[in-house]
Structure 1
Amino acid sequence: MARQPRRWQKIEAHGPGHPLVWLIWGVPALFFLYEFILRISPSLMLPELEQELKINSSEMGASLGAYYYAYAPIQLAVGMLLDRFGSRKLLSLAAFICILGLLVGTQADSASTLAASRFLLGFGSAFAYIGAVYVALIWFPARRAALLTGLTAGVGFAGAVGGEFLLQQIFGSPPDWAHGMWILAIVGIGLAIAMWLAVPERPAWYLKQVGRETPHDLQSVLQGLKQTISNMRIWLVSIGCGMLYLPLAFAGNWGPRDLHTVLGFSEVEAPRLYALFYIGIGIGCPLVGWLSDRSGQRRKWLIMGSIGGIAGAAAMTFLPEDARDLIWWLLPVWGLLVSAYVLGYPLAADLGRRDAAGTAIAFVNFVGMLMAGMMVWLFGIVIDSMAHSNGHAEPEAIDFRWGMGLMTAFMSLALITILLTREPDRKLDP
């Protein structure tokens, strides 16, 4: 077992819930905030990037999707690595991978180099949310699992809210992609150092609690993965919550352009409006986590969230331009409702082995991000195909509405899948 840094030995001796565990969790949560800003950064300048790189919407969608194609498959490895080694070294290394992706992004001059940058960013970012949640599951009492899962997501979406404004300042007007990438890389270096200093090794009492006296038991980790991927209830949770997550992937890639094209908002105003969507999610994630912990139920809130997701997607599909002022309340309410997706992580952890919690929550993220990458790519194909069939040189409002109709269908499938899920057999520990 790795030796605990001296500064954290008293906290380890205290057990779960020491006041300073908020700091231990807070630094990885800030890394998730940073990662989310990296994720949404292209949405502010899609038309400019397409012109600069001389690519169409389908190629842009494929390049942006590279983030998710790296993020999703690595999730299974992230879960196993966390279960085996803990968060400290992995999160610091992940931050440096993000920095490398940003440096590649400064040289982007084609769809392929943009995709390479996004792939590296997705690879490094894959550790952020799962790593922060894993830290919370270890250092906080089990009764706070859903609350901390929601708070972690809320921190990330706070970055999305402020990030829309922050990124506009970083990239400037007109946006300078390379300059912005350099600034974000410098911030990443600071975060990597902070995580190395602030995140301790896993405590001895945690390893004993989960029945793993050593953190380097590879056979046990692989067995945990096998049991996770063979658990049909975890599959249902992952697919249902993955589809419920799709509006977030849409918002971070196509959302502002959709508002600009369909409802006529300016290219400056549209990203700021989508900050309202992230405000709804930022409020909803900790709120639904608290409600879930208080009631001891996950499934009920997931069902309610998926119904709200259907209503929100349908409203976004059919909202007429002369009623565009409704977007001011539609976006935050839609975000508030789909934030229930966050309950999939503690629900999967409850359904799986206790010593494979990292693998279970990573599997949920794996499925969700794989679906997100496919949706980002598919949305670009749909709007390009509809534009071509309608004789439009560039995708217009009706073409984007067809894409949003696809989102409504995904939300309906999310409800059906979540209805098939079940609560875990065992009760939560205090």
Structure 2
Amino acid sequence: MYLYNFAMSKIKECIRRKLKRIYVMEQEKKLNDKKKKKYTANRLFLFWLCAVLLYFIANLQKVVMPGAIFNELQEHFSATAGSVTGIGAIFMYTYAISQLVVGLLVDRFGGARVMAWGGLVLCVGSLLSAGAPSLWLLYVARFMVGFGAASIYLSITKETSRIYPNSFAIMLGFVMVGGYLGGVTGNAPFIAGVQIMGWQQALLLVGCIATLIYLAYAGLKFTLPMPGVVQTAKFDYHRFFEVLKVRQNIYILVCGGFPFGLYFAIQSIFGKKFLEDYSGMNPESAGWVLTVLMIIGAVNSLLAPAFSKMLNNRRRPLMIFSGMGTAVAFLVIVVCLLSGVHSPWLISGAFILLAFSGNISPVIVALVRESNHNDIWGVMLSVYAFLAYIVTAVIGHSIGWIMELFPPQVENGIHIYGNKSYLAVFTVLLIISLLAAYSGFRLKESKGQDISNKI
């Protein structure tokens, strides 16, 4: 009996030791897994942060050329207004058309892969923009920058959804803030840099910073697991035409896309030039006005959905405001031009109204989603993004030629355009904005509900 009890105690002690060893090993494994997950989460955050910084650069590049350095480009290349606005137009044409292609690529290959190639093109184009020896080579550089920048937004949206599925809305909000900060930096701060070091050196600095960010992004990408290629995602262009069969979508495109496109043409292409030529502002003051517009755009992206919620999720009143506000702003400027009023405060006030009217994208996206079936609303959204930027491109390209219809004064190599040039330009913009205002009144109200089966 003694031997039996002794043997059993030894067996129990052995079992306890084994179980303790197993428990310790499991705890160590859990701790290692936790450390590994934390390490991976930290790398994913740094990867996402690099993507946000690339989006910052992409938005900065949208506004720096030609808007911030219109006179410098015209003097350096001895170019006409049409040639200079063409620099901005080729960027916008490329950016707009690429939205359609990038949307399909992101669905198939994922945001990280598309951004890796697009970011590389963005960096090369940024560096080439700083050192282009001729206007035509500068066009090539801006084409590259436009394509690279276009790949960033849809890609980072996809990656944010993958990395932060449970806090997607909040994290996407940070992405949008990062983008708007890029636009803010591309105005007054960039103009101040141009005054200090020259426009080519300022662009070179931007290109070098973009390259460093891209190298960090690419390095982190190769250390992280990436999702596989979605073989079922096909390139079917017929889906783009399906959204145009719905009349509600046409009104959304016109009422939503036109105000933003017109506003962004002011912001990125010729607004600073107009403030200098007509209102007599110096470059720094004009730059600060455009900086304020960009800040308003960022704030309004948060205010617009808040107002919509206060109105019981009604979208139509804000869409009407977008169209009408844009038309009123251009009407004020046309009246000033006709009456010879050069007040910078009045013109700046009209620009501020444009910024509020043209930046209600969260409301537009909500109405797009509520007006279309789940399998098609994403396509509609890419068509909306395409139209918004193609309007900017066409307007920006056409404005230069309209301005040249009336001979400018030339002072120290800088072309200064008169009332007739700008009156012709803003009359055209007023007519286009009236189409947006009309479309707003034709929209069906969704009240935050799915109305895809009712329109």
With normalisation by structure 1, the TM-score equals: 0.80
Q: How big is the shift at 1:301?
A: 1.5
Q: 1:49 aligns with which of 65, 73, 87?
A: 73
- Which amino acid in 2 is paired with 1:261? D
Q: Over residues 179-214 of structure 1, what are the superposed CA-to-partner deviations in whole Å (9 max), with x where a residue is unaligned? A: 22321122222333455548988889xxxxxxxxx7
Q: How big is the shift at 1:331?
A: 3.3
Q: Which residue of 2 aligns with 1:125?
A: 149
Q: 1:157 aligns with which of 177, 180, 195?
A: 180
- Which amino acid in 1 is paired with 2:73? L
Is the counterpart of residue 422 in structure 1 residue 444 in structure 2? yes
Q: Which residue of 2 aligns with 1:298?
A: 315
Q: Which residue of 2 aligns with 1:285?
A: 301
Paired-residue identity, %: 16
Paired residue secondary structure (1:386): coil
Question: For the Cα contact (< 8 Å) 1:33–1:157, is it kept in 2?
Answer: yes
Q: Over residues 394-424 of structure 1, what are the superposed CA-to-partner deviations in whole Å (9 max), with x where a residue is unaligned? A: 5223312321222222221112233333356
1:416–1:55 CA distance, 2 compared to 1 (3 A): same
Is the counterpart of residue 38 in structure 1 residue 38 in structure 2? no
Q: Can you give the 5+ residue segments of structure 2 that lack an aligned partner in the other structure?
A: 1-32, 409-414
Q: Over residues 347-366 of structure 1, what are the superposed CA-to-partner deviations in whole Å (9 max), with x where a residue is unaligned? A: 33444453555533222111
Q: Which residue of 2 aligns with 1:400?
A: 422
| Mapping for residues 86-125 of structure 1, pairs under 5 Å | 86-125=110-149
Q: 2:433 aligns with which of 402, 411, 414?
A: 411
Is the counterpart of residue 317 in structure 1 residue 331 in structure 2? no
- Which amino acid in 2 is paired with 1:93? W
| Mapping for residues 10-409 of structure 1, pairs under 5 Å | 27-42=50-65, 43-135=67-159, 152-173=175-196, 175-177=198-200, 179-196=201-218, 197=220, 215-219=230-234, 224-225=239-240, 227-228=242-243, 230-245=245-260, 246-292=262-308, 295-319=312-336, 321=341, 323-327=343-347, 329-355=349-375, 358-387=378-407, 394-409=416-431
340-349 vs 31-40, which moves further? 340-349
**Counterparts of 2:37 and 2:246, CA distance in 1:** 38
- Which amino acid in 1 is paired with 2:84? M
- Which amino acid in 2 is paired with 1:312? A
Q: How big is the shift at 1:49?
A: 0.9
Q: Over residues 160-186 of structure 1, what are the superposed CA-to-partner deviations in whole Å (9 max), with x where a residue is unaligned? A: 223323313443446232x22321122
Q: Which residue of 1 aligns with 2:20?
A: none
**Counterparts of 2:429 and 2:209, CA distance in 1:** 34
Q: How big is the shift at 1:148?
A: 7.4
Q: How big is the shift at 1:309?
A: 1.3
Question: For the Cα contact (< 8 Å) 1:99–1:185, is it kept in 2?
Answer: yes
**Counterparts of 1:357 and 1:137, CA distance in 2:** 17
- Which amino acid in 2 is paired with 1:157? Y
**Counterparts of 2:197 and 2:420, CA distance in 1:** 28
Paired residue secondary structure (1:238): helix
With normalisation by structure 2, the TM-score equals: 0.76
Question: For the Cα contact (< 8 Å) 2:104–2:235, is it kept in 1?
Answer: no
How much is the aligned-residue C-alpha RMSD, in angstroms? 3.7
1:221–1:266 CA distance, 2 compared to 1 (3 A): same
**Counterparts of 2:69 and 2:177, CA distance in 1:** 25
**Counterparts of 1:237 and 1:308, CA distance in 2:** 16
Question: For the Cα contact (< 8 Å) 1:36–1:160, is it kept in 2?
Answer: yes
- Which amino acid in 2 is paired with 1:302? M
1:363–1:401 CA distance, 2 compared to 1 (3 A): same
Q: Which residue of 2 aligns with 1:15?
A: none
Structure 1 or 2, whichever has the larger Rg, is 2
1:203–1:104 CA distance, 2 compared to 1 (3 A): closer
1:255–1:148 CA distance, 2 compared to 1 (3 A): farther
1:92–1:144 CA distance, 2 compared to 1 (3 A): closer
Q: Can you give the 5+ residue segments of structure 1 that lack an aligned partner in the other structure?
A: 1-5, 12-17, 205-213
- Which amino acid in 2 is paired with 1:347? L
Question: For the Cα contact (< 8 Å) 1:79–1:361, is it kept in 2?
Answer: no
- Which amino acid in 1 is paired with 2:233? L
Question: For the Cα contact (< 8 Å) 1:262–1:401, is it kept in 2?
Answer: no
Question: For the Cα contact (< 8 Å) 1:91–1:192, is it kept in 2?
Answer: no
83-92 vs 330-339, which moves further? 330-339
Q: How big is the shift at 1:116?
A: 0.9
Q: Which residue of 2 aligns with 1:208?
A: none
Q: Which residue of 1 aligns with 2:11?
A: none
234-243 vs 119-128, which moves further? 234-243
**Counterparts of 1:353 and 1:80, CA distance in 2:** 18
Q: How big is the shift at 1:234?
A: 3.2
Question: For the Cα contact (< 8 Å) 2:97–2:386, is it kept in 1?
Answer: yes
Paired residue secondary structure (2:406): helix
Question: For the Cα contact (< 8 Å) 1:228–1:360, is it kept in 2?
Answer: yes
